[in-house]
């Protein structure tokens, strides 16, 4: 059984994040922009500091103590990532710079090898641009058809269309696990089963799910899963692509250069084995090692605990925000969403709203959140978004709601 989150536990967690002690003007920081990037605990900062102070060297290359230490620390993170998502083997963990690079890697390797005229790639209208643009770019070159599962006004995938959209022509179904605008948590099992029925492969964008809830790639039978370190308490510049072994073995390399080869001759080259085949050049060593410390930190708490805490905060925020006059929440009710809420408030521009909240120390996001098609669906250019994480409190949600009411008063003068 998962223990109910307790606020004194959250206070202890907050003490691990130095930035949360900051003031913005005269106000305590209330950081509610976690879907954009999360804050970092001392354990991550310390690990990266130690790496540079004590172990810094290039990986996989040197036969000297520092290089061997750096290599062991870097390679050790594969096992941690594998445990986080229950991957069968750590060799199925490819280090990337983040979700965007992971999707581009799959598009340019698996996609180039498997897609052509007559084939279809099915994505959804609620994708982040990083799961739209790489497919559009590839489509222009390879001539396959890109199709989209529409969304309902409630902000769910309109699965009544699935039978028409997912056919034997579909080679890949690529979708976001948890939407970064609507909050919607999509039914992965159902979508994977539908893809399997027509022989399509599945790529899941876990940027907003892996940091916030347990995700099990074996139980969900996912072919490719991508996520970013910086949204799960780790540093920027690192991320993970998980892939099924047989797919990774068959895929050609992504970038060419050092480390991804076994042998280079003037007449040609032979590729290194998986995962190194996909990691050309000097990788983000300190960042990957820092990401490993973030995995340790989250796993010590348990992803089920993190999820429960966010569900509690989201349920509370949803209820309170629903009571603010003129506030329109985008997306479904709290039962079907992750830990974020995007909204509009009357005709106040989200940027003005965000600036007003900032003057009270409250950080939210305003804009299209790199998901313009979602905003097009609702015929709006932008929204404001509050997104929660393990260190956020009910009191911060109260501050958000009170500040919104105050902003509304000011803007209506």
User: Interface residues with ligand PLP (CB under 6 A)?
Assistant: 35, 98-100, 128, 130, 176, 180, 205, 207-208, 228, 370
CA 18 to mean position of chain CA atoms = 23
Q: Tell the smallest beta-carbon distance from residue 203 to ligand PLP (Å).
A: 11
Return the number of the residue (98 or 235) whose C-beta is nearest ligand PLP.
Answer: 98
Helices 350-358 and 394-411: crossing angle in degrees, nearest 10, is 120
Return the number of the residue (92 or 208) whose C-beta is nearest ligand PLP.
Answer: 208
Q: What is the SS3 assignment for 229?
A: coil
Q: What is the SS3 assignment for 313?
A: helix
Return the number of the residue (4 or 136) whose C-beta is nearest ligand PLP.
Answer: 136
Give the whole-angstrom CA distance, residue 223 versus residue 6. 36
Q: Token pair of 375, please? A: 């905003």
Q: Tell the smallest beta-carbon distance from residue 129 to ligand PLP (Å).
A: 8
Return the number of the residue (205 or 279) whose C-beta is nearest ligand PLP.
Answer: 205
> Which residues, in sequence order, are CB contacts of 192 under 8 Å at separation 6+?
202, 220, 221, 222
Return the number of the residue (70 or 341) whose C-beta is nearest ligand PLP.
Answer: 341
24 backbone dihedrals φ, ψ, rounded to 5°: -115, 110
Report which DSSP code applies to 257: S
Q: Tell the smallest beta-carbon distance from residue 211 to ligand PLP (Å).
A: 10
* DSSP-assigned beta bridge partners for residue 226: 205, 241
- Is 370 annotated as catalytic? yes
> Which residues, in sequence order, are CB contacts of 48 under 8 Å at separation 6+?
235, 286, 287, 289, 290, 293
Concatenating the DSSP letter of every residue in 269-280 gives EEEPPTTGGG--
Q: Tell the smallest beta-carbon distance from residue 119 to ligand PLP (Å).
A: 24
Q: Token pair of 340, please? A: 């974020």
The sign of the CA dihedral 91, 97, 98, 101 is negative
- Cβ burial of 320 (10 Å; 0-12, 13-18, 19+) is middle
Q: Tell the smallest beta-carbon distance from residue 182 to ligand PLP (Å).
A: 10
Catalytic residue among 370, 380, 398, 411: 370
Q: What is the SS3 assignment for 150?
A: coil
Q: Tell the smallest beta-carbon distance from residue 100 to ligand PLP (Å).
A: 3
What is the gyration radius of the CA atoms in the chain, in angstroms? 22
Catalytic residue numbers read 370
């Amino acid at each position: 059984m998962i223990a109910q989150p307790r606020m004194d536990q959250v206070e202890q967690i907050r003490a691990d994040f130095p930035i949360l002690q900051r003031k913005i003007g005269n106000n305590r920081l209330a950081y509610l922009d976690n879907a954009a990037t999360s804050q970092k605990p001392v354990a991550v900062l310390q690990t990266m500091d130690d790496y540079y102070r004590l172990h810094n060297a290039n990986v996989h290359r040197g036969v000297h103590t520092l290089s061997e230490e750096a290599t062991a620390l870097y390679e050790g993170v594969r096992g941690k990532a594998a445990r986080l998502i229950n991957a069968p083997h750590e060799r199925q963990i490819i280090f990337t710079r983040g979700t965007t690079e992971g999707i581009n890697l799959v598009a340019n390797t698996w996609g180039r090898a498997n897609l052509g005229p007559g084939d279809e790639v099915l994505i959804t209208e609620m994708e982040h641009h990083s799961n739209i643009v790489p497919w559009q770019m590839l489509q222009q070159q390879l001539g396959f058809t890109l199709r989209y599962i529409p969304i309902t006004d409630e902000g769910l995938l309109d699965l009544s269309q699935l039978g028409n959209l997912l056919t034997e022509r579909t080679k890949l179904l690529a979708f976001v696990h948890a939407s970064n605008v609507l909050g919607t948590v999509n039914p992965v099992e159902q979508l994977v089963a539908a893809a399997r029925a027509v022989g399509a492969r599945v790529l899941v964008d876990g940027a907003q799910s892996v940091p916030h809830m347990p995700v099990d790639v074996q139980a969900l039978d996912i072919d490719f899963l991508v996520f970013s370190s910086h949204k799960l308490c780790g540093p920027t510049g690192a991320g993970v692509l998980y892939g099924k072994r047989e797919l990774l073995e068959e895929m050609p390399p992504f970038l060419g250069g050092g480390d991804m080869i076994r042998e280079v001759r003037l007449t040609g080259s032979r590729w290194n084995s998986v995962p190194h085949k996909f990691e050309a050049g000097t990788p983000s060593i300190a960042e990957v090692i820092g990401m490993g410390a973030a995995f340790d930190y989250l796993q010590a708490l348990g992803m089920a605990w993190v999820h429960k805490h966010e569900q509690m905060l989201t349920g509370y925020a949803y209820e309170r925000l629903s009571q603010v006059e003129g506030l329109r929440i985008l997306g479904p009710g709290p039962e079907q969403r992750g830990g974020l809420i995007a909204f509009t408030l009357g005709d106040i521009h989200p940027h003005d709203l965000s600036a007003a909240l900032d003057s009270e120390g409250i950080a939210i996001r305003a804009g299209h959140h790199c998901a313009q098609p979602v905003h097009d669906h609702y015929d709006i250019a932008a929204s404001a978004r509050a997104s929660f994480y393990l260190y956020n409190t009910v009191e911060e949600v109260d501050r958000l709601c009170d500040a919104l009411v105050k902003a509304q008063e000011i803007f209506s003068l």
